[in-house]
Chain A
Amino acid sequence: MIDKPTFKSSFKAILYLFPMMLVIATFNLYPIVRSFLMSFYTDFNIFTQAVNGYGLDNFFTIFNDTSFWLAIRNTFIFVLGVVPTSIVLSLTIAILLKKVSFLSGFFRSIYFLPFVTSTVAISIVWNWIYHSRFGLMNYGLSFLGVDPIAFITDPNYSMLALVILAIWKGLGFNIILFLVGLNAINENYYSAAKIDGAKGWQRFTNITLPLLGPTMFLVSVMGVINSFKVFDEVFALFQSRPGPAGSALTVVYYIFQKFYQESQYGIAAAAGIVLFLIILVFTLLQMAFNKKFVHY
């Protein structure tokens, strides 16, 4: 089947690729280039599309904007709150699901449901759960003797509420990935480890964890990227506000505010570029880490 590339075969291949290329070019490549350029527009008329000046002013503006720094800070708190907890929880659940054969298909579907349900619907339900007076969460906490917490309206708790929602929502997808990773580990290694005298926990730390490296890398990279881009959960949970007193203002929410609410296109684009660079740096860091520690 491996033919020499000829003009005809290349043309045929391009023809097959063309529809998808068209979609990607229109909705991904063009906006990326456009927003990159837009971040350097200092004087811009959206209606006439006329650009009267270029410069770095947009970047100076956002770096001097306290709410941009707040957004960066909130986003980092969110990523740190969501990713590690989500990995630990989903790995634990995946291991349990692998061990339990009873109704395992049923449980897998249940855990996967949040992932395929619309974020808005989920956020509305969680909004009720978090309700300070009638919410299920506070009802549960009341048994532990905790006074009702205003998750949605108290700036001290809004980020916690957002993190819990995001972890719960992402769990299903991570569990599926971990299950695939766990099933890819040959049973023989566990037999060998048993023969070598490794007890349950030792088998987990010496066999499961290292052999799960590639999956761990995938889950963490995707988790970090997705968490840096958090927006719709915030928008829906706090009813189109960035949380009480901006306590859940994230970078993407900041971009949204600048672009759609304040029509500061250049500033929004500049913030987008900064977010892009942050995600790029973190992904490169993870890849370097992966290269160093996951190789076999």
Chain B
Amino acid sequence: MQVSFENIKMSYGDKDVLNNINFTIPEGKLVSILGPSGCGKSTTLMLISGLTFPSSGKIMFGDKEVTKQDAVKRKVGMVFQNYALYPHLTVLENIMFPLKMEKMPRKKREKRALELAELVQIKDHVHKKPKQLSGGQQQRVAIARALAKEPSILLMDEPLSNLDARLRIEMREEIRRIQQETGVTTIFVTHDQEEALSISDEVMVLNEGAIQQNSDPITLYNKPNNQFVAQFLGTPIINMIDVEQDKSILEWMPISDEAINQTKRIGIRAEDILTTSDERKMLFSGIVRHVARVGKDTTVHVKQGEDEVVATDLDIIPEEGELLYLTANINKVHFFDSKGGIVPVEEVARI
């Protein structure tokens, strides 16, 4: 089901957690809410689930308003960060629990629970207690339980944060597979950009109680709306070059003078950096401080004074101590104004 927030405000005491949030999550999609801790992403999820209520604004499921309904009535599925599996019930009983609350006949709910156990591949462990399962298995049970009552919305609150690195990658593929098999509208909260970018149809970036950008993962990475999004996404972190003091390095670019005037900083992702021998087209020059080679990846740190630029996909492997001139294609350069917003840039022919 489609979920939309209309002017949602949420405050605890005099602290505003969410500030006039508006968004629509389309039906059948997997949408991530991404942001640093304390940005209000978990609060957003709690508001959708009905475990907490907004200070003002409207929450709509489809075209039905549910703002005043509590969690028992909203009937969403939810996977908690620590799974919250009932410790006194077996895996099967845990999955059946929502159906038992619906008073579904025992035979029927057992059949349904076994189907779900099959879907999440936990069928061999249905008679164990949660304590006897590994983290990944508990996670699967939690997903099965959340899906048991065939919710139209599935919420996941940092479901992978308690797993180790390898299992995390495996489980996020699993979540994607299960979501596509069931077609349930899924809202996935995470602080891990890689997680969000790899499994979602759409990513909503939150910071300080406001939506920074809401788009598909590719756009989010390639065309960030502002400096926060640009810096939050991507490893290594995007290189920021301060151009306020010296705008001359931008002059070779085919962009308008107005755009150059507004620009305070430019951002270039590490993989977009190129070496150049043409001093006029150079954006940054410095001494190679360190070359790190890990497997197939080579990371080059170039330093000039206090500033440092990190490049990952250079066509040459320089020596430490070498002087490098660095540049980038103009369509890979992000221009930011003094407020951290993006400067609209149109290529103009330079005379």
Contacts and interface: CB of A to CB of B under 8 A. Distances in A.
| A and B are partners in one complex rather than unrelated chains | yes
A103 to B, nearest CB: 22
Interface string A183-213: 0001011011111111100100011001101
A194 B80 contact: no
B76 interface: yes
Contacts of B64: none
B88 A186 contact: no
B98 A197 contact: yes
Contacts of A210: 86, 88
Given A211-B87, A296-B87, A296-B129, A192 B78 contact: yes
Task: Pick from B71, B98, B129 the residue with the most CB of A within 10 Å.
Answer: B71
Task: Pick from A196, A207, A211 the residue with the most CB of B within 10 Å.
Answer: A196
B101 interface: yes
Contacts of A196: 97-98, 101, 145, 149
B84 A191 contact: yes
B51 A194 contact: yes
Given A188-B82, A206-B97, A296-B131, A194 B72 contact: yes
Given A188-B80, A202-B101, A296-B88, A194 B71 contact: yes
Nearest to A195: B78
B84 A197 contact: no
Interface string B185-196: 000000000000
Interface string B52-92: 00000000000000000011100111101010111110000
B327 interface: no
B102 interface: yes
Nearest to B81: A188
Interface residues of A, number: 19
B314 to A, nearest CB: 49
B49 interface: yes
Task: Pick from B51, B76, B97, B149 the residue with the most CB of A within 10 Å.
Answer: B97
A197 B80 contact: no
Interface string A222-265: 00000000000000000000000000000000000000000000
A195 B88 CA distance: 18
A262 to B, nearest CB: 52
Interface in B299-329: none
A287 B80 CA distance: 34
A10 B102 CA distance: 60
Interface string B233-264: 00000000000000000000000000000000
Contacts, number: 58
B133 to A, nearest CB: 13
A8 to B, nearest CB: 41
A24 to B, nearest CB: 36
Task: Pick from B50, B98, B146 the residue with the most CB of A within 10 Å.
Answer: B98
A196 B113 CA distance: 14
A296 B149 CA distance: 25
A213 to B, nearest CB: 7
A296 B94 CA distance: 13
A152 B77 CA distance: 60
A210 B97 CA distance: 14
Contacts of B50: 194
A192 B84 contact: yes
A191 B46 CA distance: 10
A195 B94 CA distance: 13
Given A197-B72, A199-B72, A296-B88, A191 B129 contact: no
A49 B70 CA distance: 76
A92 to B, nearest CB: 22
B102 A197 contact: yes
Task: Pick from A189, A197, A206, A296 the residue with the most CB of B within 10 Å.
Answer: A197
A63 B71 CA distance: 62
Contacts of A188: 80, 82, 84
A188 B42 CA distance: 14
Contact of B51 (A189, A195, A198, A296): A195
A117 B97 CA distance: 46
Given A188-B80, A202-B101, A206-B97, A195 B71 contact: yes
A159 B129 CA distance: 45
A194 B97 contact: no
A211 B88 contact: yes
A186 B86 CA distance: 10
Given A196-B97, A196-B98, A191 B131 contact: no
A196 B98 CA distance: 5
A186 B84 contact: yes
Interface string B122-150: 00000001010000000000000110010
A193 B98 CA distance: 8
A195 B129 CA distance: 21
Contacts of A194: 50-51, 70-72
Contact of B101 (A189, A198, A211): A198
A124 B158 CA distance: 60
10 tightest A-B contacts by CB?
A196-B98, A194-B71, A192-B84, A188-B84, A197-B101, A296-B87, A296-B88, A210-B88, A195-B78, A198-B101
Given A191-B71, A296-B131, 9 more contacts: A191-B80, A191-B84, A192-B84, A194-B50, A197-B102, A199-B72, A211-B87, A211-B88, A296-B129
16 contacts: A186-B84, A188-B84, A189-B84, A189-B86, A191-B84, A192-B84, A194-B51, A195-B51, A195-B71, A195-B78, A196-B97, A197-B72, A198-B72, A202-B101, A206-B86, A207-B86
